[in-house]
Chains A and B, each alone.
Chain A
């Protein structure tokens, strides 16, 4: 059973508008949530994170919101830029012997047109 779900495989947005990527999870024991960005032929790179005790974290154009009661988080990108076009993975951590082993969603491909 998938513990982290990204139900939208793709999203298309115009440059300058807001991009909203969504993620749902099933395990209430997760300690931290992260968003990774991935370009073709490269490894994923860390974008932004949020602790399970917070409900919002902001970093420049990127904001992540966490709704624990709904087990839902979202990544907002404002304003969207063509360089933001990539695959975005939502991931969760439950810290244990495996350290920070990540549980990933399937990813959402964001396309930002100019």
Chain B
């Protein structure tokens, strides 16, 4: 299994509070991603990173920011959580290599509930 951990695994927070989710990898992969999974929507890309300090927006980036100060860590921040951000959040990593360049490895997920 790829070395990807997410913390916390579960969190309940109140509307309007800031929340930071952490993704940590031990694979030294260049690319890191944050997705959210919601019923009826599959997984949707929030933000991604293609190197340290290099990040960009995905499909559903409104209300989220990210930072990557080290290769191994990718942080997702909800500046002011809303109930619509209740979801399961997955981090993923990938590397460009001659073999299986397309494959992404996913973390175990963080279940976030905003009340």
Interface of A toward B, CB cutoff 8 Å: 4, 6, 31-32, 34, 36, 41-46, 49, 89, 93, 97-107
- Cβ-defined partner of A106 (8 Å) among B40, B45, B48, B56: B40
Inside 8 A of B101's CB, which chain A residues have their CB? 100
Interface of B with A (CB < 8 Å)?
4, 30-31, 33, 35, 40-45, 48, 50, 56, 58, 90, 92, 94, 96, 101-109
- CB contacts between A and B, total, < 8 Å: 71
| A-B CB proximity, top 8 nearest | A43-B106, A99-B31, A104-B42, A106-B42, A104-B43, A100-B94, A32-B102, A44-B106
Find chain A residues with CB under 8 A from B102 CB. 31-32, 34, 49, 93, 100
* 10 pairs, A vs B, C-beta closer than 8 Å: A41-B108, A42-B109, A43-B108, A89-B43, A98-B31, A99-B30, A99-B48, A100-B102, A101-B58, A107-B42
